[in-house]
Structure 1
Amino acid sequence: MPPRLGMIKHLKGLDTLRALAAVIVLVDHVEIIKKENNIRNYIDNPSLIYPDGHLSVILFFVISGFLITYLLLIEKEKNGRINLKNFYWRRILRIWPLYYLVLFLSYFIFNPDYSFGRILLSVLIFPNVAFAIRETWDVSPQIWSIGVEEQFYIVWPLLFIFISKKKKALFYIAGLIIILTLLPFGLKFINLVFFKSEEFYTIISRFFYGTKFNCLGIGALLGFIFFKNKDGISKILLTYNFLTIIFTLLPFVLWFFKFKTEHLNDELYAVLFAFSIYNIVRHPKINIDNAVTRFLGKISYGIYLYHWTIIILVVKYMPKYDAFYLYNLLLYASVLGLTIFISWLSFVTYERFFLNIKKKYEFLNKQQKSD
């Protein structure tokens, strides 16, 4: 049986996966910003292979859908219900403080000339919608994925309460995933037949490029499967250890060598990531954690949100060296060092302040229930 509430303090492997995703995003964005500043970069070098940062976000989505669903199932089993107020309060205290701090800092540092609509959409945590209509918060554009996750967190608990009461909950989730996957194709078909609008086509493409609720749904489906812990799945994993390890590594090998499909590439990787996450968390012989990756995983939210601003400033103010490899060594050392330090400092001071409020709120809630 999987660990239950009270027993579960940490699911192994998740911090390491978060650390991996955050570092790959950072590397990808260093190269993008170098290219934007006409600095020799690895994007323009087709002979060099390194992972696509966009798939890091897909991995984050699958982990989020999995963990949130699993914790909701544990809460429902323990208490017989989901406390929506507590759920939303916990998410707000974890996500909003750093999101709004980075939003404010990036605006204050770079003082961009943004329209009211662009500012409003990002303040209301709809940066993915702003991206779709070409109103990207480009002084810190990675915030679009935080908007996607927050929108998922608002809607999913409500759907979860309905779906979890059904005997065939897995089929309902699978149905939602299929609908969300087919939705952009349906909208494009309607546009092609009735409107023939290039602008509408572009908005659909840009919106669904990042707003992968179906990938979060794949994570949610994984959460249900992991919670139910079907004996058949566990027996197969333990019986065929070698194959299990091969398929656990498969998405990361494909990712590193930039394997892509023309359609549904993110969805394919989401399914493969889900399989890997299940094995990494569940299989007793697979352990990818160590002290460094656990540390980086804990501060990965800060790494993800701070790194863009740090890269821009380092690229702008660090001296340019003719020696390409020396420049890159100093650039990456500076960006990684500063991002990790600032993310750690933020975590133990600013973020911890709000996390402590969350803990006090949860403690008071437990006390009220016991009284």
Structure 2
Amino acid sequence: MQTIKGFDGLRAISVIFVILTHLGVYTVAKSHGVLSDNAAPIVSGTTGVQVFFVLSGFLITSLLIKEHEASGTISLKGFYIRRAFRILPLYVLCLALTLVIDLFVWDVASAPSLIYAALFNTSFIPREDYSQILGHTWSLSVEEHFYVLWPAALLFAYRFNYARALLHLGVGIVITLILYAATIRLEEINDAYFVGRWSVFAGAWIAFGCIAAIVINGPYRRANVFLASRAALLIGAALFFHSLVLGIVPKPLDELLRVMGVVLIVCWIVRNQASALVKALEYEPLAYTGKISYGLYMWQGLMLSTGPERAAGQVWPLNPGLGLLLLCVVAPLSYHFFEKRFLALSARYRHTALHHKVEERAASAAPLKS
């Protein structure tokens, strides 16, 4: 699939939101009256992760649709191998370093938190087992659960029947958000778990990205005309910045409105690749930050933890200032000298596998020769 301009810029903004949250910048800004309560959710780490979720759902679904259009099917084996090359090497490296630090430097992670993270299940971790240094891995858990289920569902359950997939995704989102709204009001459960991070609830934001991809790539001309219009961008911006006017609305309505805004903005960007907004998002330093955003996201957990608090005499993580400096050095090095090796393997496997499938499809469709 051709690279979509502007997406790296969105990734950069998202990971910056996460890093600033974990540095405690917003807490200080609010205490000094620089950041209002109504503006804080717009730039929060939660919003950053939700943008990542929408982009992930959109891109993965678009890739699957393009593969199906080119070859008549999709290779689940190939999909999982490519995802493994992209996610696992850096993830395993960060977990291994966390374990080494925990054993030989400073007590940074509980044994249960390491197990939950290793099993990609931090999204369901009880609060009593939670370790800040691994807290950010919850979003990777949600994404991995999505990767396991969605491609198989699209291939076997829906057989790329777009209308049925859209219907089920829409109904599923409604049911999920109703359950989410009810569950977050159960005090006992919320005291024990991070309910908003449960994959069954957080996965709704990925599902919005899946819907957007189906509409953009499917036979929905009128919808695509609207998504390319200035009205879609204005409505998307209004939804994204709604708290500036409406104030803090109850969850999950506030998250729903903001994610719907993200979806409209993402679709508008796809349909307006020559726009001034896309050019701004393609500003080289911003785009580069987005390109290395996975590394930034993983390493910031190790270098900064998920909050600026430090115990007296704590050896690791370093104080936030030094941690940020180390992050800015390590993340680019990680991308160029570690991650890119596996990205090349992933790309090579995708192109080779797709080429073979296209050849097989052409051969099966060719008339028999006498």
Structure 1 length normalisation: TM-score? Answer: 0.79
1:323 corresponds in structure 2 to: none
Q: Take 2:336 and 2:152, find their aligned partners in 1: how far apart are those partners?
A: 32
Say if 2:24 and 2:308, in contact at 8 Å, map to a contact too. Answer: no
1:23 corresponds in structure 2 to: 16
- Relative distance call for 1:31 and 1:187 in structure 2 (3 A) is closer
1:149 corresponds in structure 2 to: 143
Q: How many residues align?
A: 334
Which of 141, 149, 167 is 1:171 aligned to?
A: 167
Structure 2 length normalisation: TM-score? Answer: 0.79
Which of 205, 226, 231 is 2:216 aligned to?
A: 226
Which of 112, 116, 130 is 1:117 aligned to?
A: 112
- Relative distance call for 1:113 and 1:246 in structure 2 (3 A) is closer
- What is the DSSP-based 3-state SS (H/G/I as helix, E as strand, rest coil) of the residue aligned with 2:136? helix
2:316 corresponds in structure 1 to: none
Q: Kindly provide the CA deviation profile for residues 168-225 of structure 1, in whole angstroms up to 9, marking residues without a partner as x.
A: 3211211121222223346579xx7xxxxx544534x623345301111111111111
2:330 corresponds in structure 1 to: 342
Q: Take 1:338 and 1:254, find their aligned partners in 2: how far apart are those partners?
A: 36
Q: Take 1:305 and 1:258, find their aligned partners in 2: how far apart are those partners?
A: 34
- Relative distance call for 1:306 and 1:254 in structure 2 (3 A) is farther
By how many angstroms is 1:363 displaced? 4.9
Matched, 1:90 2:82: yes
1:54 corresponds in structure 2 to: 46
Matched, 1:271 2:260: yes
By how many angstroms is 1:270 displaced? 1.3
- What is the DSSP-based 3-state SS (H/G/I as helix, E as strand, rest coil) of the residue aligned with 2:2? coil
Q: Kindly provide the CA deviation profile for residues 57-100 of structure 1, in whole angstroms up to 9, marking residues without a partner as x.
A: 11111111111111111111111112100011111111111112
Say if 1:122 and 1:137, in contact at 8 Å, map to a contact too. Answer: no
Q: Take 2:247 and 2:92, find their aligned partners in 1: how far apart are those partners?
A: 35
Superposition RMSD on alpha carbons, in Å? Answer: 3.2
Q: Take 1:43 and 1:134, find their aligned partners in 2: how far apart are those partners?
A: 28
Q: Take 2:240 and 2:69, find their aligned partners in 1: how far apart are those partners?
A: 34
Q: Take 2:240 and 2:170, find their aligned partners in 1: how far apart are those partners?
A: 24
2:363 corresponds in structure 1 to: none
Q: Kindly provide the CA deviation profile for residues 5-31 of structure 1, in whole angstroms up to 9, marking residues without a partner as x.
A: xxx321121111000000111111101
By how many angstroms is 1:44 displaced? 3.3
Say if 1:214 and 1:267, in contact at 8 Å, map to a contact too. Answer: no
Q: Take 1:220 and 1:124, find their aligned partners in 2: how far apart are those partners?
A: 25
- Relative distance call for 1:256 and 1:20 in structure 2 (3 A) is farther
By how many angstroms is 1:133 displaced? 4.3
- Relative distance call for 1:349 and 1:259 in structure 2 (3 A) is farther
Farther off after superposition, 359-368 or 343-352? 359-368
1:181 corresponds in structure 2 to: 177
- Relative distance call for 1:336 and 1:139 in structure 2 (3 A) is closer
1:326 corresponds in structure 2 to: none
2:368 corresponds in structure 1 to: none
Q: Take 1:148 and 1:353, find their aligned partners in 2: how far apart are those partners?
A: 25
- Relative distance call for 1:138 and 1:237 in structure 2 (3 A) is closer
Which of 13, 23, 32 is 1:45 aligned to?
A: 32
By how many angstroms is 1:343 displaced? 1.2
Matched, 1:361 2:349: yes
Q: Take 2:177 and 2:141, find their aligned partners in 1: how far apart are those partners?
A: 19
Q: Take 1:237 and 1:74, find their aligned partners in 2: how far apart are those partners?
A: 20
Which amino acid is 2:19 matched to? L
Say if 1:248 and 1:280, in contact at 8 Å, map to a contact too. Answer: no
Which amino acid is 2:49 matched to? V
By how many angstroms is 1:260 displaced? 3.2
Matched, 1:13 2:28: no
- Relative distance call for 1:306 and 1:257 in structure 2 (3 A) is farther
Q: Take 1:56 and 1:188, find their aligned partners in 2: how far apart are those partners?
A: 21
Which amino acid is 1:233 matched to? A
5+ unaligned residues in a row in structure 2: which ranges?
A: 311-318, 361-370
Q: Take 2:240 and 2:87, find their aligned partners in 1: how far apart are those partners?
A: 27
By how many angstroms is 1:311 displaced? 3.0
- Relative distance call for 1:221 and 1:24 in structure 2 (3 A) is same
By how many angstroms is 1:310 displaced? 2.4
Q: Kindly provide the CA deviation profile for residues 223-242 of structure 1, in whole angstroms up to 9, marking residues without a partner as x.
A: 1111126322343355x53x
Residue pairs, 1:255-294, within 5 angstroms: 259-264=247-252, 265-283=254-272, 284-285=274-275, 286-287=277-278, 288-294=281-287
Q: Take 1:48 and 1:272, find their aligned partners in 2: how far apart are those partners?
A: 21
5+ unaligned residues in a row in structure 1: which ranges?
A: 1-7, 36-40, 193-197, 317-329
- Relative distance call for 1:363 and 1:338 in structure 2 (3 A) is same
By how many angstroms is 1:289 displaced? 1.8
